[in-house]
Structure 1
């Protein structure tokens, strides 16, 4: 009944029922085979043209098991799978056998059985079907890819958030440790200053000399500068010795 052309391959079993009629009408096995092909092809064409494609593929008693219809299958295909058929392939082949048997006896032949071996679209329709299948597969692949990219972005976002939390916690911990260390150093410096202010000043000045100068440093100081005070005091014994 559809507007798409299909190719139907059938097979039949037959035997000679009346040898006289057989010899008078078809004479040879090849002649009988040719006549049978014409008759069966005509009957099959009539039966197929009046049937839905799903009726040629399925049996009338077959029901789609629950859970076997994939969500990715297009809605129209899902509806086609769920469709109840009034007659299936078995009934169609029986009808072909009945209709062909009405004509064949005049040739001295008994038609034993007819079966549909294969169904397929014609070449032009197959190309369209394949293109539609490819398009559908690409759509499903794009859907999975989009879902995967969304999930990837979600995972990366969570990872970045956790990484920021770890870095923030580590920085806060480092600052706490540094603060405690600075407080301890300040306390030590305070104790040293309280015990001997002059030595503390001397020690801090030497530290300033070490950290604030290198071999290429050039200092311009007045003789009464606090920074120069210990250098000046160290130079006096040297001059006295000379």
Structure 2
């Protein structure tokens, strides 16, 4: 007995430590726990962070997230009420609101994601198929001035009855009625992306190209008209300026000619003989060149002044 005394004591100490260690658990922030005994839940879920007690070895801890989680579904091809096929990519935020109910109905988050896919995808399909495309692609606060036309040419410049924000709210409310039984609170549902299927997308692109070409042709036509108007104004202004300048030039030239004639007349009246002589000399400079030969008769006016100058 004495031989095994220390070993038995050490064993008891180790067992006591194991019992003490397994009799407590620490719950960190952002997590919640459900205590189970032989697989069955015991008591209410533990949601407060800190040190908590449990029966060692008999009771186990099932831990779950308390923070908000993300569900991201796969894009689905869904027909709208106006027979337009679209790809819809939806996401949602959720959290475990009742850990006990979640453990009993779902057990783990992976299965919860799969369950949410069934619930949300089905609800989205129901609401999208009951509403027109305009309700999905436009918010309820869009103004008619910002709205264009659909691919079929129908005017969409009207305010949506619901709009995307209201439609997603209705989807969340409808899906929440099903998720609550699993201990899941659906916080919101959001449409990440809306796209047309390939055949419809080609029609959309063709219509967009046609619309842009029509707008470009209209802008170009307006530009050509404005260009012609500006050039017409420039030409008219140029003609007015040129005409006015010519008129002023002719007026100035007329006044100058009149003044010159008056000067010439006054000069002639002072000494007619000298004036005649001066004009004759000017004529000589214009008529006679360096290599010119001039033959004059004796009764020529030009010869008369040459003769008087020579003294003969």
Give the unaligned 5+ runs of structure 2. Answer: 1-80
> Once superposed, what is the RMSD of the aligned Cα atoms?
3.3
Correspondent of 1:21 among 92, 105, 114:
105
Q: Is the 8 A contact 1:9 1:119 kept in 2?
A: yes
Correspondent of 2:299 among 202, 224, 230:
224
SS in 1 for 2:194: strand
Give, in angstroms, the shift of residue 51 of structure 1.
Answer: 0.8
* TM-score, normalised relative to structure 2: 0.59
Give, in angstroms, the shift of residue 48 of structure 1.
Answer: 0.8
Give, in angstroms, the shift of residue 171 of structure 1.
Answer: 1.2
Q: Which residue of 2 aligns with 1:80?
A: 156
User: Residues of 2 paired with 1:100 and 1:182: CA distance?
Assistant: 104
Partner deviation per Cα, 1:66-122 (whole Å, 9 max, x = no partner): xxx27xx767789423x243333344334433543565567x353423412323213
Describe the shift of the 1:75–1:29 C-alpha distance in structure 2 as closer, same or farther (beyond 3 A).
Answer: closer
Q: Is the 8 A contact 1:10 1:114 kept in 2?
A: no
- Indicate the structure (1 or 2) with the bigger Cα radius of gyration: 2
Q: Is the 8 A contact 1:6 1:119 kept in 2?
A: no
Correspondent of 2:190 among 116, 123, 138:
116
Give, in angstroms, the shift of residue 226 of structure 1.
Answer: 2.6
SS in 1 for 2:131: coil
SS in 1 for 2:106: helix
Give, in angstroms, the shift of residue 149 of structure 1.
Answer: 3.3
Describe the shift of the 1:156–1:32 C-alpha distance in structure 2 as closer, same or farther (beyond 3 A).
Answer: same
Relative to its length, the structure with more helix (as a share) is: 1
Q: Is the 8 A contact 2:168 2:191 kept in 1?
A: no
Describe the shift of the 1:220–1:155 C-alpha distance in structure 2 as closer, same or farther (beyond 3 A).
Answer: farther
Q: Is the 8 A contact 1:97 1:111 kept in 2?
A: no
Instruction: Determine which structure has greater relative contact order: mean sequence separation of CA pairs < 8 Å that are 6+ residues apart, divided by chain length.
Output: 1
User: Residues of 2 paired with 1:74 and 1:21: CA distance?
Assistant: 48
Describe the shift of the 1:51–1:189 C-alpha distance in structure 2 as closer, same or farther (beyond 3 A).
Answer: same
Describe the shift of the 1:211–1:95 C-alpha distance in structure 2 as closer, same or farther (beyond 3 A).
Answer: same
Q: Is the 8 A contact 1:8 1:116 kept in 2?
A: no
- The 5 A counterparts of 1:2-151 are 2-12=82-92, 13-15=94-96, 17-23=101-107, 28-60=108-140, 62=141, 64=143, 69=145, 79-81=155-157, 83-101=158-176, 104=179, 108-122=182-196, 124=198, 125-126=200-201, 128-151=203-226
Give, in angstroms, the shift of residue 217 of structure 1.
Answer: 4.0
Correspondent of 1:189 among 255, 264, 285:
264
Asked if 1:171 is matched to 2:250, the reply is no
User: Residues of 2 paired with 1:218 and 1:78: CA distance?
Assistant: 98
Q: Is the 8 A contact 1:5 1:122 kept in 2?
A: yes
Give the unaligned 5+ runs of structure 1. Answer: none
Give, in angstroms, the shift of residue 8 of structure 1.
Answer: 2.1
